[in-house]
Structure 1
Amino acid sequence: MGLSSLSLMLFSIYILSTIVKFHLVVANSLQSYTPPCSADEHSALLQFKQSFVINTSASSCYYDYGAYPKTLSWKSNRSCCSWDGITCDEETGHVIGLDLSGSCLYGSINSSSSIFRLVHLESLNLANNDFNSSQIPPTIRNFPRLRYLNFSYSGFSGRVPSEISHLSKLSSFSIERNYNDNQMFSHEGFLRSLAQNLTGLEKLHLSDIDISSSIPDTLANLSHLTSLVLENCSLSGKLPFSLSNLRHLFYLDLSLNNISGQTPPSFGNLTRLTDLWLGSNQLSGHIPASFGNLTRLTDLSLGSNQLSGPIPASFGNLTRLTNIWLGSNQLSGPIPASLGNLSRLTTLLLYSNQLSGPIPASLENLSRLTSLWLGSNNFNSSIPPSLFNLVNLRSLDLMDNNWNSTIEFHKFLKLQNLTDLWLSGNKLEVLMGSTSMNNTTTVVPKFENLILRGCNISEFPDFLRSQDSLRQLDLSGNRLHGGVPKWMWNMSTQTLGELVVSHNFLLGFDRPPSTIPWVNLEWLDLASNSLVGEISSLICNASTLNYVDLSDNRVSGVLPQCLRVSSNDLQYLNLGNNNSTGKVSPQICNLTKLSYLDLSSNKLSGMLPQCLGPSLEYLNLANNSFHGILPQRFTTAGCDLSMIDVSHNKLQGQLPRSLANCASLEFLVLSNNQFDDVFPLWLGTLQKLKILAMRHNRFYGVTGQPKKNLHFPELRILDLSYNSFRGKFPAEYIFSGYAIRGLSSVKSSYHSYDHYLQGKFVHTVCQL
């Protein structure tokens, strides 16, 4: 072949390859070209954008880590197909997908919203916004092509429209956790209509919608379902056997309902399940052994039911399990040794059952276990050494069993990752061994919750010196004596929220600071010790405190005047049975959240502040020397009081007629005062009153027959003795028909109120 022929051939090949490349470029460009969206859809989207404001708090990053305001990219001079969250059909240019999840939208949606003009939509995701308690409009029917619909975490409320069941092409439907003041609800046949019309559903998530019906058998029509979540939907009735026909299910959550009856053994046929959540219902009977067939399970929740019988040994087959929750049932018998096969397990919660026997040594095989809760069962003997080989444990609950051995605390130090330890409620003697824990080679875990109540500990554990992450510390019911050591004030100053050292033999504090050092302390319980000295003003300088109990000590002095601090969140204050003196300052009324106040059995005097009680529910001022009249204000229309005890004082005058406003009042104890009034028949309107004690006062006159038939429907104790009543006692108007009426001599001072709630009887003590 000559040179010219070769050149011609090469030139021809070049031309051919160029033509091929040109066609490929044209083809690719044609393939990637999408027509612009229509003018109407463009306008509808811009109107939708303008109907909302951007509020960053409207989209919680807890639910959507990618939350950002997508509509900021929506510019009128650009095709809507290029905007964030918009998907267009490549051939027609119609908007077929709208994903505004986590877009910080705040505002309302109604039937006239421009979004309902996007009639070609196949996917709509408005999750994780705040639609300000809007109701989902019935115009949702304008999307007949919709396959994907997600309205979760978006602040919707009101009735879920039945029109959703007309979207026959839906394969995924989610309306979950729309928290607001008005709970979402549906009509009773809502689930049934979904099951009849949306037979192509693969995902159905309806958490926190008040459906208030049983689970219909027709859910079995949804044969393509892979994920079904009906958590907290007010469902009742029994679990339908037909659910076991949903063989494609891998996720099933029916927790937090009122479902009763036994769990069908046929649920063992759902062999594709990875997650099964049936907790917090009223299921009863045994756990089916067939659950051992669910070999793909990773999460199993059956807790907070009424299940009984043993834990099936077949659970040992579920080797993919990472979490088991069986707590708060009535399960009995031993822990099956087969649970030691579950090498992937990280959480094992068996608390609050009736399990017994030894802990199987095979549990030490659970090397990935981080949480082991065995509390509130009937395990006995000693804590098995095998537990101390679970080196990844972070949370260990052994409380309220029958462990009765002596154990050295340093064994728990092998669990270097341990943050939460509960040992209370046993017969253990825990040896702290401070010397060994001061060893420089000993590394003490960073505890967060440490509950050592009733462990026969005789001195403050020395290792607490190094703790800087404690949130909860309970050393109550031990044998601690002497003073609280000074170094305690430097422990976990930024984190401690609860300190309980009650029921010990403590005498005081070693050089306390002028203010409480724990800046986040909410709960302080030092009750039932032998603390002496004046009531410390420390409790007032901690504005975070909401619970203080210093009762049953020997503290003295006047009540701290710093109770006037208005920023205080104090809700519970118990200073009963001490040696406090002086008056109750009106400044106490600045504790506007106070619901429980006990100042009984002190040496307090003076008149009671008339401002007492805006939020009080429990008031005990007994056994002091108060005089004057009962406050009028604490029984106004907003009265929430359920208990009033002002016995053994020097109070005078008439009873406030406004007591009739206290509709929740159960106990009214006025004994041993100087009240001067007629019999309060007007208290008969109080539907919950159980104890009315008026002995040793100056009540007088004829008890008489009321003008109205005012019964005391729940009254069980009425003490009128040592007054000046006369005439015939009108028992038929005082007691309800079921009560046992009679006269007896009751010596009780009515301090154990709960005792009288147990039986339906009435003691009438009177001297007419």
Structure 2
Amino acid sequence: MDSYLSHSMFMRLLFLLSILFLVLLTGSLSSLQPLCHEDERSALLQFKDSFIINMSASYDPSAYPKVASWTLEGGNSDCCSWDGVECNEEAGHVIGLHLNSSFLYGSINSSNGLFRLLQLQRLNLADNHFIGSQIPFGVGNLLRLTYLNLSLSMFSGQIPSELSHISKLSSLDLSGHIPSLSGYLTHLTFLDLGHNNLEGTIPNSFSELKSVMTLGFRENNLSGMLEFDMFLKIKSLSVLVLSSNNLTLLTKANSNDTLPQFHTLSLGSCNLRKFPDFLRTQNKLSWLEMQQNYIQGLVPKWLYNISIKTFRAIILSDNFLIGFEQSPLVLQWSKLEILDLDSNSLQGSLPIPQPSIKIYHVQNNLIREMSSLICNLSSLYVLDLSYNNLRGNLHPCFGNLSSRLSALQLRSNNFHGTIPKTWVEGSSLEMIDLSENQFQGQLPRSMANCMMLEYLHVGNNQINDTFPFWLGNLSRLKVLVLSSNAFLGAIKNPEINYTFSGLHIIDISKNSFSGYLPAEYFLHWNAMKVVGANDHLIYMELGFSGDGWSSSVQFSDTLTNKGIELEYDQIQDVFKNSSFRGNPGLCGNPLLKKCGDFKYTPTPPSPFEENRSSESPFHFGWKVVAIGYGCGFVIGVVIGQIVITRKYDWFVKIFGKM
């Protein structure tokens, strides 16, 4: 019995060792097999050699030359390990090329090695520069492709009909070219033709795209009458982008029809006169754009009863809306994050969204009142109520909102009283614009808690205070505008040595400052001495991609308004007297009025009506502080930057001696 057991255990052990040997042997043999097929490696190298690396051939700041790793040197023969190359682990075939933003520059034709990669399933060549070459018909060889992205790669000409042979292709992105359509891929689920020069109207044959879920035509030259009902026949369609063309939508659909449930609907610049009736059935909308149309009157009650739990962004700017039907106390969309009502004719009280709101624009309307319910908007990131008729005191809760708020725009209203004193520690504010109101009293010292602040504009008010030297510890502060107020006294408290180390622009014109110009103070403003600094100052940007909206608060050092870049004069050789106009009590170099040879008695400031009616003459030899508003998807305020062209020694020479 024992002998039998011993023999059995021996046989079992031998069996296990045999299996282990076979596993090790199989692994050793497989490790000897290269993952990369030689013919595919050769095709990749030929593809690489057909281009040069040009560091200007990309829009993406994070771009890098991926093909730089494609080399046989140093035992690097396995192309599956090369950057941007994806291989099938079992067979070792190249199934994906992810070469977006790779600085590729050159033309591409059908003899390129790329089109010998017959197992390719995913190809991304977006954001390169193929110098106007046509999309090669050789792409039709890649019959296994499911994903093709050629956006922003400078292709031109017709879309080759060979694309229609690729029956598995479901995602096609050709945005950012001037291609013309020669055929349609009826099995596509994603098609983006935005940012091209497509002309004419959209043909009805697009209704044959029965499987398409996302369809984009943004920013083309499309025009004419468009039978919108053809899109409503595509039951799978959830994202439709038509904005920034000159189409006129015609629809016969009504709420009784069976219609697709849209996720994203972009109908900006579509010559709409009213809210389309088919919207009544939409209960899954997340993004709705209807800006730059001709919609008049009240926002109908049925609109703010749809998609209550799904809406995240509603863009209704640049229409002729005068209010909301039945004036709801609080709008009902419970997850709304972006609401843009800019440039309408809204009257009465400010509509209050739910606390989920992050970006709220109501600039350039006729709003007169604002409920204290605005204090409940604890998620606010950007609030722009500029150019309205808002009046009364500014609620103290605005200071408390600063813990989350990044940009606060209240320019050109009728607010009066004092500025709230409740600016909290840890404030996130980067920009505050309270200019062109009737604020009185002092600047609240709690503003020194706004350590992230880069831009502060309180010009054209009735503020009566001394120079805010206590703001000097805000190292990020780049723009400080105090013009046309009743500031008085010396510009610096000599006992405290704050420096305003990041300051680029300061405007103190039309106040009642007096005494010596503090030359030693100016010498610490080192940020003004940097030539060609790369600091950026912009108020707000909203952008849209196929996946939805994106937003950011950033800054820019060139003033660009509606595509026009404006250049400004460089600093002059001495500062002129006009740089300090409106402060008759100031004296010392370089002013003609010398200190010590006169007795100055402060006089009451000129009437504020006069201040408001005249343009600030404060030049200081610097670029102008400029504020511009752009309609559509990019909404922003772009602010100029100071450049001093003379050397530091020159500055000391002018201001160093009194």
Q: Given the two structures, how large is their TM-score scaled by the length of structure 2?
A: 0.71
Instruction: Write the deviation string for residues 434-483 of structure 1: whole angstroms up to 9, x where unpaired.
Output: xx20284x421110011111111111011010000100001111111010
Aligned residue number for residue 242 of structure 1? 71
Instruction: Write the deviation string for residues 518-542 of structure 1: whole angstroms up to 9, x where unpaired.
Output: 1111111111100011123x33xx1
**Partners in 2 of 1:272 and 1:554 — Cα distance?**
64
Residue 333 in structure 1 maps to residue 162 in structure 2 = no
Counterpart residue identity of residue 294, structure 1: L
Contact 2:291 2:315 in 1 (8 A): yes
Secondary structure, counterpart of 1:309 in structure 2: coil
Contact 1:684 1:711 in 2 (8 A): no
Q: CA deviation at 1:240?
A: 4.5
Aligned residue number for residue 584 of structure 1? 394
Q: Where does structure 1 lack aligned partners over 5 or more consecutive residues?
A: 1-22, 35-88, 97-121, 123-144, 149-168, 173-198, 204-231, 257-269, 732-741
Output aligned runs, 1:530-549, within 5 Å: 530-536=345-351, 538-539=352-353, 542-549=354-361
Change over 3 Å in CA distance of 1:320–1:26 after alignment to 2: farther
Residue 292 in structure 1 maps to residue 115 in structure 2 = yes
Instruction: Write the deviation string for residues 578-626 of structure 1: whole angstroms up to 9, x where unpaired.
Output: 1111111222233220111011111101111122261111111011110
**Partners in 2 of 1:249 and 1:482 — Cα distance?**
63
Contact 2:505 2:625 in 1 (8 A): no
Aligned residue number for residue 76 of structure 1? none
Q: CA deviation at 1:31?
A: 6.2
Aligned residue number for residue 125 of structure 1? none
Aligned residue number for residue 726 of structure 1? 587
Aligned residues: 528
Change over 3 Å in CA distance of 1:502–1:745 after alignment to 2: same
Q: CA deviation at 1:391?
A: 1.0
Aligned residue number for residue 301 of structure 2? 486
**Partners in 2 of 1:760 and 1:341 — Cα distance?**
61
Q: CA deviation at 1:514?
A: 3.5
Aligned residue number for residue 381 of structure 2? 571
Residue 283 of structure 1 is aligned with which of 104, 108, 128?
Answer: 104
Aligned residue number for residue 230 of structure 2? 411
Q: Percent identity?
A: 29
Change over 3 Å in CA distance of 1:699–1:744 after alignment to 2: closer
Change over 3 Å in CA distance of 1:374–1:758 after alignment to 2: farther
Aligned residue number for residue 508 of structure 2? 694
**Partners in 1 of 2:521 and 2:639 — Cα distance?**
33
Counterpart residue identity of residue 726, structure 1: C
Change over 3 Å in CA distance of 1:654–1:329 after alignment to 2: farther
**Partners in 2 of 1:700 and 1:570 — Cα distance?**
40
Residue 468 in structure 1 maps to residue 283 in structure 2 = yes
Change over 3 Å in CA distance of 1:412–1:676 after alignment to 2: same
Contact 1:255 1:281 in 2 (8 A): no
Contact 1:248 1:272 in 2 (8 A): no
Output aligned runs, 1:29-48, within 5 Å: none
**Partners in 1 of 2:442 and 2:215 — Cα distance?**
54
Residue 756 in structure 1 maps to residue 575 in structure 2 = no
Change over 3 Å in CA distance of 1:625–1:458 after alignment to 2: same
Instruction: Write the deviation string for residues 616-652 of structure 1: whole angstroms up to 9, x where unpaired.
Output: 111110111101111222224x611121110110112
**Partners in 1 of 2:79 and 2:67 — Cα distance?**
19
Output aligned runs, 1:386-425, within 5 Å: 386-425=205-244
Q: Where does structure 2 lack aligned partners over 5 or more consecutive residues?
A: 37-60, 530-569, 593-617, 629-636, 652-657
Q: CA deviation at 1:337?
A: 2.7
Counterpart residue identity of residue 652, structure 1: N
**Partners in 1 of 2:142 and 2:497 — Cα distance?**
62
Residue 438 of structure 1 is aligned with which of 254, 257, 260?
Answer: 254
Secondary structure, counterpart of 1:499 in structure 2: strand
**Partners in 2 of 1:27 and 1:404 — Cα distance?**
89
**Partners in 2 of 1:344 and 1:246 — Cα distance?**
33
Secondary structure, counterpart of 1:242 in structure 2: coil
**Partners in 2 of 1:721 and 1:642 — Cα distance?**
26
Change over 3 Å in CA distance of 1:652–1:419 after alignment to 2: same
Residue 457 of structure 2 is aligned with which of 645, 657, 660?
Answer: 645
**Partners in 1 of 2:226 and 2:642 — Cα distance?**
40
**Partners in 1 of 2:271 and 2:85 — Cα distance?**
40
**Partners in 2 of 1:517 and 1:426 — Cα distance?**
31
Instruction: Write the deviation string for residues 711-755 of structure 1: whole angstroms up to 9, x where unpaired.
Output: 454377895321122221399xxxxxxxxxx97999978444736
Aligned residue number for residue 526 of structure 1? 341
**Partners in 2 of 1:628 and 1:332 — Cα distance?**
62
Q: CA deviation at 1:252?
A: 6.1
Counterpart residue identity of residue 254, structure 1: G
Instruction: Write the deviation string for residues 98-137 of structure 1: whole angstroms up to 9, x where unpaired.
Output: xxxxxxxxxxxxxxxxxxxxxxxx9xxxxxxxxxxxxxxx
Aligned residue number for residue 516 of structure 1? 331
**Partners in 2 of 1:666 and 1:253 — Cα distance?**
41
Contact 2:510 2:581 in 1 (8 A): yes
**Partners in 2 of 1:501 and 1:375 — Cα distance?**
21
Aligned residue number for residue 322 of structure 1? 146
Contact 2:623 2:642 in 1 (8 A): no
Instruction: Write the deviation string for residues 525-577 of structure 1: whole angstroms up to 9, x where unpaired.
Output: 111100011123x33xx1211111111111112x3222333x72111111111
**Partners in 1 of 2:525 and 2:620 — Cα distance?**
21
Instruction: Write the deviation string for residues 675-696 of structure 1: whole angstroms up to 9, x where unpaired.
Output: 1143459999545533211111
**Partners in 1 of 2:325 and 2:245 — Cα distance?**
30
Residue 343 in structure 1 maps to residue 167 in structure 2 = yes
**Partners in 2 of 1:761 and 1:656 — Cα distance?**
27
Aligned residue number for residue 560 of structure 1? 371
Aligned residue number for residue 558 of structure 2? none
Change over 3 Å in CA distance of 1:202–1:291 after alignment to 2: closer
Report the aligned-residue RMSD. 4.2
Higher relative contact order (CA 8 A, sep 6+): 2
Contact 1:670 1:693 in 2 (8 A): yes
Output aligned runs, 1:47-446, within 5 Å: 90-91=16-17, 239-242=68-71, 254=84, 272-287=93-108, 289-310=112-133, 311-351=135-175, 353=176, 355-361=177-183, 364=184, 366-431=185-250, 433=251, 436-438=252-254, 440=256, 442-446=257-261
Residue 623 of structure 1 is aligned with which of 436, 440, 443?
Answer: 436
Contact 1:252 1:277 in 2 (8 A): no
Counterpart residue identity of residue 663, structure 1: S
Aligned residue number for residue 519 of structure 2? 705
Counterpart residue identity of residue 513, structure 1: P
Residue 603 in structure 1 maps to residue 414 in structure 2 = yes
Instruction: Write the deviation string for residues 177-199 of structure 1: whole angstroms up to 9, x where unpaired.
Output: xxxxxxxxxxxxxxxxxxxxxx9
Aligned residue number for residue 606 of structure 2? none
Q: CA deviation at 1:253?
A: 5.2
Change over 3 Å in CA distance of 1:271–1:93 after alignment to 2: closer
Secondary structure, counterpart of 2:416 in structure 1: strand
**Partners in 1 of 2:124 and 2:67 — Cα distance?**
17
Contact 2:407 2:432 in 1 (8 A): yes
Contact 1:271 1:293 in 2 (8 A): no
Change over 3 Å in CA distance of 1:246–1:488 after alignment to 2: same
**Partners in 1 of 2:262 and 2:441 — Cα distance?**
51
Structure possessing the higher radius of gyration over alpha carbons: 1
**Partners in 2 of 1:599 and 1:683 — Cα distance?**
32
Aligned residue number for residue 632 of structure 1? 445
